[in-house]
Structure 1
């Protein structure tokens, strides 16, 4: 059998992906953002992979592009 992953870490990962932010995930789970970060870090250590990739965001100040776009 493969590695068993902690359910709380999986929930933190799922909520973060669903809401788009650690802060929002923490609010949904009723915990601090630090607790969510810790669970995601645990999941990354167990799997040996990054859970998320960070992308720089560009937002036009005049709104000409209709919002924010990844670089």
Structure 2
């Protein structure tokens, strides 16, 4: 797991604009797709279920920790 954490931290150091996580490995996963989009002062996370969409705004400094929690 330390390798994954380091990889995620390196990815977000470059201030990526958008990331999409789809095709979950587990069929019963709560979210079918998660997108992370950079807005000028924060990242917006959009989580898709079968029938609903949830939005969450995350401070730029906290995005790496949240992505680590998702995995």
* TM interval, short-chain normalised: under 0.3
Higher strand share: 2
Larger radius of gyration: 1
Higher helix share: 1
Q: TM-score, normalised by structure 1?
A: 0.24
